[in-house]
Chains A and B, each alone.
Chain A
Amino acid sequence: MRTLTLAGAVACLATGALAQEVVRLATEGAYPPYNFINDQGEVDGFERELGDALCARAGLTCEWVVNQWDSILPNLLGGNYDVIIAGMNITNERDALIDFTQPYMPPAPAGYAALSGDADIAGGTVSAQAGTVHAGHVADTGATLLEFATPEETVQAVRDGEADAVFATHDFLLPIVAASDGEMTIVGEPVIIGRGVGMGLRESDAELRDRFDTAIAAMKEDGSLNGLLAKWFPDNSPQF
């Protein structure tokens, strides 16, 4: 019996050290250019490239997992994956629940997009993705908030006339507005919200967080992070 326990303990230690090297990264896969599923059915986008680069620097093997936005926090806490890298803004509410690395994106400008320039963004109906800082911002204005589970649906609501405007980051809205052939337009001035976008980890995973923190700091230092930001985001987006 004793040898059995001992063998168990040894196995525990051995695989513990091994398993530590595989880290599962979760993303939403529906929020271009941050993350999306490409034509080949794989996770792609800014965060895919960034995540792979960070894992290579930290000496980790990373697996990508796609998880719906509305259950992305509980599934992290339940241990289904180890890291959220899904365009998640660092907020006090989320920080109370999980831990964040330092931001890998500066606070990004957000704004409204609508079918016409005179859409009523102050008192009309504005769509935003549920459980985001953007939905929170709309709720604080005089507008009626219309929430959707996916970013795609928030834009579609404007096209269908269900909402007067959609509120989201410019990074997400600008490519859509550009591709709409003048159908949609940006309304109002950009607003800076949030404290930047970071990777979310369990509070009990401090060691892993430090490793990603170091890797992000290194990428900021040598300019490779700015290079990635420039590649994936519009020209006037903020950089480090």
Chain B
Amino acid sequence: MLPACADPSTLEGLSWYLCYLTTGKHLSFYTSFGTVLLLLAVTAPAALALGFGGAMLARSRVPPLAWIGKGYVAIVRGVPDIAFFLFFVVALDQGFEYLRHRIMCADWDQPVRQGNDFVVCDIAKLPLNSSPQWMHEIYGFALAVLTFAIVFGAFAANVLYGAMRAVPRAQMETAEAYGMTHRQTFWRVLVPQMWVYALPGLSNLWMVLIKASPLLFLLGVEDIVYWARDLGGSKTPQFTDYPHGDWRMWYFLFLLVFYLAFTRVSEVVLDRLMRRLTHGQAIAGGEAQRKTAMVGPA
């Protein structure tokens, strides 16, 4: 808090807003933007990795592996996101605690389910009851990332599966004619070429992921939507130094601008990436680039 803000009731105009916008609560609001960006930064690669694994499994020539890959994609794509978000967080949390309980408190003689209660021994709790609050928050955040990665990984798997099949068969046959093994063909010929086919689908996913980040609030993480709703709500003088009416519209407008700006930047970056990936590819875009390059800048 700035020293000039010691007595907010005397402030007016600009200095009131300056003090209002730097309260501890507002700082938490600003920090939560970092939370959302961190979520995206961690979730995107994790989902891509899961998607890649899922696509490889789905392509596998060993039937059980292919079933796992295809089952994963089919189940996650078929169930509403929100049901998964609610299910996974509870199921993962209780699943982890149950496993730890079985390992760490093997001599526990009471049932884990007691009526409505889910009870595990104290040292099996995740995080421990005695852990500071920030550890609970990090744990909640990690559960959220895992859930997002599982859900978006399935969509990414489907996109990558399609992209792998879109690489021209002639490319693979040529590689095989050179005597490459199945594994070599996959890593040296198929994977480098598939990204250009995958990118439109993946960029779509990225956009949806950005817009899905307010679901964090649903998972109990205090994200930008939570703070915007709380800060925007009308405040009576008895409970705050900065009473105001219903300002939720302005806070949500700010979120709208934030999301629009963020998706716009993403679009620009993805466009550039697409141009790079198209370079030298045996598709219409690559051919067009080649012709322009041959003619040269006029």
Contact = CB atoms under 8 A, between A and B. Distances in A.
Interface in B96-111: 97, 104-107
Contacts of B128: 15, 19
Nearest to B119: A204
Interface in B56-104: 90, 93-94, 97, 104
B246 interface: yes
A141 B139 CA distance: 44
A41 B220 contact: no
Contacts of B121: 12, 16
Given A39-B242, A159-B246, A65 B123 contact: no
Interface in A78-119: 78-80, 82, 97-98
Contact of B229 (A12, A79, A150): A150
Contacts of B267: none
Interface of A is mostly: mixed
A78 B130 contact: no
Interface residues of B, number: 46
Interface of A: 5, 8-9, 11-12, 15-16, 18-24, 29-30, 32-33, 36-42, 44-45, 63-68, 71, 74-75, 77-80, 82, 97-98, 150, 152, 155-156, 159, 175-176, 178-179, 202-204
Nearest to B232: A152
Given A41-B28, A77-B118, A78-B118, A155 B234 contact: yes
Given A79-B97, A179-B236, A65 B133 contact: yes
A16 B241 contact: no
B123 A176 contact: no
A163 B115 CA distance: 39
Given A37-B230, A38-B239, A82-B129, 18 more contacts: A5-B106, A11-B123, A21-B130, A30-B233, A39-B23, A40-B23, A40-B24, A45-B239, A67-B220, A68-B220, A71-B220, A77-B117, A97-B116, A98-B116, A152-B229, A155-B234, A179-B237, A204-B115
B27 interface: yes
Interface string B117-158: 111111101001110110010000000000000000000000
Nearest to A39: B23
B27 A41 contact: yes
Nearest to B139: A80
B129 A78 contact: no
Contacts of A155: 234
A14 to B, nearest CB: 9
Nearest to B116: A77
Interface string B13-30: 000000000011101100
